[in-house]
Amino acid sequence: MSGFADWLERIRSIVFRGRDERELAEELQFHTDMDVEQFQRAGLDPAEARRRSALVLGGVERVKEDVRDARGTRLFHDVGRDFGFALRTLAHSPGFATVAILTLGIGIGGTTAVFSAVDAVLLQPLPYQQPGELARLYMADSANPTVRQYVTPVHFVDYRRDMTAFENMAALYTYAETGGDIGSGDDVRRIRVLPVSAGYFEVVRVQPRLGRGLQPDEENGELLIVVSDRLWREQFDGNRAAIGQSLTMSGRPYTVIGVMPPGFNDPLAGDVDAWVPLDLAAARDVDNAQNHYLSVIARLRRDAPLARAQAELNRLSSTLAARYPDANDALARLDPLKEDVVGSADRALQIMLGAVGLVLVLVCVNIANLLLVRGSDRARELALRSALGAERPRLVRQTLIESLTLALAGGVVGIVIAKLAMSAIVALGASSIPRLSELALEPRLLLFSLVLASLSAIGFGLAPAFRAARTDPGDVLREQTRSSTTSGSQMRVREWLVVSQVALAIVLLVGAGLLIVSLRNIRSVDLGVNPAGVLTFEVHLPAARYDSTARAQFYEESARRLAAIPNVTAAGGVSRLPATGNYHVWGTRAMTGRLANTREGAAQAQQRVVSGDYFAAVGLSLIEGRLFDAHDNAAAPIRVVIGRRTADMLFPGMRAVGQQLRAGGRTAEIIGVVADVALDARGEVVPYVYHAHRQFAGNRNWALTQVVRPNGSPEALQGEARRVLATLDPQLVLYKPALLGDVIGRSEAQRVFTLQVLGAFAGVALALAALGLFGVLSYGVRLRSREFGIRMALGADRRRIRRMVLREGLTVTTIGTVIGLVGAVVLSRLLASMVFGISALDPRVLLGAAAFMTLVAAVAAYLPAYRATAAEPRSVLQ
Amino acid sequence: MAGEPGELLQGTLEMMVLKTLSLEPLHGWGIAQRIQQMSKDVFLVSQGSLYPALIRMKRRGWLTTSWRVTVNGRRARYYELTAAGRKQLGVEQESWQRASAAVNWVMGARLVPEGGQ
């Protein structure tokens, strides 16, 4: 016989099973009818004819079974029937089925979602060729070698010329002020533009799909533009003739020279719409050797490992330190770009990964527990069926199929949960974790969790079936009728499963508890500003229509008009909002006073350019001297206001007002000292230097963020601000409006995000542990109901029996809690960078978690304990 | 499983079905009837053995099936021999003849006294 034809026929009969079955039934019916007809012709009455023919046939179902056997599809058919049977059995115990399927779903869905996030962010953060060769270059100075600084244009050019370990390097100007306005009239829109040096596209190894990249001789701010695929489709309808055409941005005509492939993204800046040549003219001014504002990425030569490049960089740094004595002793350091991009998100995701791993284990344990309970419940049923002659492989297969049905249903629920969880993860974390917005359901990972959960379901589901197949059914049946206490070993396994659940839940509870306390601590930190109700938004002035004088005038005028809105108490502008991290960190030196021109008299200070009534708008109070006024204009001597910390560092023990300092290549007189502002939400206090925009507008096109403080609720303020802006210049965009409180909170988003995820997992873990405990105790109580009945009949106190069950539950809980606390202490190192203002071993949190767990356990144990004594002894004994 | 009057070996049933179908295409009931008639009511072919055998033979490529209308106007599945089936009939017929002849020789043998000549 031909093997191939045979298999083809089998497959055909599986595919067309329905038709085959119908045809078989028709064929057999025909056969029977013909028999009946024949018997009737032979003189039998119809009823007798039918009886005789049935006798000959010997059971239609039996024949059909044999035919299926011959078709080679019997197994398939039986499996189908077993599935039906499994569905019916599960439908008979909806409680068990719901809990099992939901548990599996949570495990599969949660794990898949979190693994997908980790995969997208941690494992494949750089979608470029040979991402391992990419490095980020920072500068540092020997006073603060751990503080990573941006690179000065002067140093960048020298590095690029002299470094041999780099195949190529590129400078990016990632500051937010580099956006551009496109469109006209009411349709003006702000896009993200990234000025880059030549070599950028070579470093990331992605070339424009149309046109070309940038040439070294174009690093002069020439009006050339490479557009993203999205912008190309939007502005040029995806027309290939776009190359060479003009695109007006911020009032200036740019020539399109390239179109990037779809999906290309900048590794540092994220959603960039266009790339323009960086103006490296600043590199020719040695004053700029203190001006750290470029982000630098490099591609290492294949034969040059990071350590060798770093060694070469160190040698070069000492040369450069001698070349630019005015600059701080410019050290440089290389970080793998992946580390740089992933950064602190690394820790958040690792914690999530750990949490989800724990939950997955919990889920498997819970499933094991559920199935063990069910297995012992069904031991009698299986024994009975075995005694009645059911083949044992058949019993095993059926149990297997029941477990598979559960796993499959759990998988379907899991996919739904994964989808939901992923949109939640994206919504919660996109602003704080890079690349999270690109999250997609990863089929490999879904498969992984599905297989894992199925294996646990199948493994623990099969155990009772194998046991049933091994043991003498008679034993089981006798044991059950005797209603003795259950076999000790099995009970002990289940108790240990609950112990492990409690332990895992404790670990997650401690983690969530630490983060809750950390968040509360961090929110109560005094940042030095009062963000209540303060509205912020950016206004970017196109350089084509606004020269430095016009810009200086505009920002003062806008502050004045915004402050004139009814109910607004103060308005101003700033180059970077307070407490939102590093921005323009420049070397700053005392030029007068005791520390003049000494190393002690120098600091890396945050530079801010302010307009209008900025200090009042954010709630910064003046400590001594005065604030800027209209006299501090471009014609006046250069003046700065400094933070108290700056005064303490550069002019310790003296009056800072009237002293002089040098920053950003300018020497300035200090006219006032204001209160300190935190660098970020953690409350770290750092030196600040404030420049008046009127005096500094010529330096660059500072895109000042407007800050408007209302007297009361901020509602309707945004509309008012938009109207004010329109009266000044109808073509300007009110960009990124937000409340100051939210903007400051954003740097906390990662912690909040981790807490939310961890909290959710801790809740699930707690619920699972409580469920497990409840299950074990209820089951124990049910098995011992006879024993309890006897005890009560003999006069035992009900309360004592209740206490006994409760004590049993609490013993299991206590063992689990102790193990969990030890685990939490061991794992606390993981959380160390996430906690704030509290030790990762804080006893209050540890005890709180233990107390909470015990409380939940007591509730879970009470119902079974109550049930143990609820029944009348007589009814139990009968 | 064969009817009571005669125990049938599986291989034998298949051979007889092949023979029956080599005369003309028939439906299942017709095959059973024909075998009963031809065997002079010695072999009663039950549905339980006939239909699985037909399926097996179809899987081996010896038969094809088609739905046709009987003389009484009823729909029935007809079985027809393929070229492979015809060849198989030849093979089986030959081996049957050899086997039955051999069985006959064995059953017809008489004890020849030792040394007797």
DSSP-assigned states of every residue in A204-265: HT---SEE----GGGTBT-SEEEE-HHHHHHHHTT-GGGTT-EEEETTEEEEEEEEPPTT--
- Give the pairing type, strands A688-692 and A602-612: parallel
Question: Rounded to the nearest 5°, which phi and psi values hold at A628?
Answer: -65, 145
Q: Which helix (H) or strand (E) holds A171?
A: strand A166-172
Greatest alpha-carbon pair distance for chain A in Å reads: 134
Residue A799 has pLDDT above 80, yes or no: yes
The lowest-confidence range among A114-128, A541-555, B45-59 is A114-128
pLDDT at A124: 63
pLDDT tier at B31, thresholds 50, 70, 90: very high
Q: Hey, is the C-beta of B10 within 8 angstroms of any chain A C-beta?
A: no
Quick check: A785 pLDDT over 90? no
Q: Bigger pLDDT: A776 or A594?
A: A594
Complex ipTM = 0.81
**From A63-77, A152-166, A807-821, B82-96, the region with the lowest mean pLDDT:** A63-77
For chain B, say whether A472 makes contact (Cβ under 8 Å): no
Listed residue (A160, A138, A10) closest to A74, CA to CA: A10
Instruction: Determine the average pLDDT of the residues in A658-665.
Output: 90
A607 by DSSP, 3-state: which? strand
Sign of the dihedral defined by the CA atoms of residues A846, A847, A849, A854, in that order: positive
pLDDT of B42-100, one tens digit each?
A: 888 888 888 888 888 888 889 998 898 888 888 899 999 999 999 999 998 998 899 88
Q: Does B76 touch chain A (CB under 8 A)?
A: yes
Residue A775 has pLDDT above 80, yes or no: no
Query: Averaged over A289-317, what is the pLDDT?
Result: 90
Contacts with B56 from chain A: Cβ below 8 Å = 70
Distance (Å) of CA A747 to CA A223, A341, A367, A665, A680: 35, 16, 39, 31, 7
B61·A1 Cβ contact <8 A: yes
The pTM score is 0.60
CB B59 to CB A62 under 8 A? no
pLDDT number for residue A866: 81
Residues of A in contact with B77 (CB under 8 A): 23, 26-27, 30
pLDDT at A483: 42
Using an 8 Å CB-CB cutoff, list chain B residues near A62.
48
- Partners of B61 on chain A (C-beta within 8 Å) are 1-2, 5
pLDDT of A389 reads 65
Question: Distances in Å between the alpha carbon of A105 and those of A117, A210, A503?
Answer: 18, 46, 22
Coil, strand or helix at A730: coil
pLDDT score of A14 more than 70: no
Nearest CA-CA distance, residue B81 and chain A, Å: 15
Q: B interface mutation test: which of A28, A35, A57, A66 has the most B CBs within 10 A?
A: A66
Euclidean distance between CA atoms A421 and A117, whole angstroms? 10
Q: What percent of chain A has pLDDT over 90?
A: 26
pLDDT bucket at B1, cuts 50 / 70 / 90 = very low
DSSP, collapsed to helix, strand or coil, labels residue A142 as coil
| Percentage of chain A modeled with pLDDT above 70 | 86
For A381-400, write each residue's pLDDT tens digit: 777 777 776 667 777 777 78
Quick check: B52 and A5 CB within 8 A?
A: no
Asked if B52 has any chain A CB less than 8 Å from its own CB, the reply is yes
Contacts of B47 in chain A (CB under 8 A): 28, 31, 56-58, 63
Residue B73 has what pLDDT?
83
- Asked if B76's CB is within 8 angstroms of A57's CB, the reply is no
Tokens (6 digits) for A753: 């995000």
- Asked whether the predicted pLDDT for residue A806 surpasses 90, the reply is no
pLDDT at A55 over 60: yes
pLDDT(A297) > 80: yes
| Residue A608 confidence (pLDDT) | 95
Give pLDDT, residue A137. Answer: 92
- Is residue B74 within 8 A of residue B62, CB to CB? The reply is no
* pLDDT of the residue at A169: 94
Mean pLDDT of chain A: 82
Least confident of A80-84, A419-423, A490-494, A823-827: A490-494
Any idea what DSSP says for residue A871? S
Dist CA A34 CA A50 (whole Å): 10
pLDDT given at position B4:
42
> What number is the average pLDDT over the span A49-58?
75
CB contact under 8 A, B47 and A34: no
The residue-averaged pLDDT of A256-273 equals 86
What per-residue confidence (pLDDT) applies to A487? 54
Q: Does B40 touch chain A (CB under 8 A)?
A: no
Q: In the predicted model, is pLDDT for residue A819 greater than 60?
A: yes
Q: Is A56 near chain B, with CB under 8 Å?
A: yes
Give the pLDDT score at A484.
Answer: 43
CB A420 within 8 A of CB A327: no
pLDDT given for residue B113 in this prediction: 61
Chains A, B: CB contacts under 8 A, how many? 72
Cβ within 8 Å of residue A605, ≥6 positions away:
A585, A586, A587, A588, A646, A663, A686, A687, A688, A689
Nearest alpha carbon to residue B63 among B40, B91, B82, B38: B82
User: Is the torsion defined by CA of A846, A849, A854, A855 positive or negative?
Assistant: positive
Q: Given a cut of 50, is residue A485 above it in pLDDT?
A: no
Tell me if residue A350 falls in helix, strand or coil.
Answer: helix
**What amino acid is encoded at B48 in this protein?**
G
Say what the pLDDT of residue A73 is: 67
> How much is the pLDDT for A181?
82
Contacts of A70 in chain B (CB under 8 A): 51-53, 55-56, 59
pLDDT attached to residue A450: 76
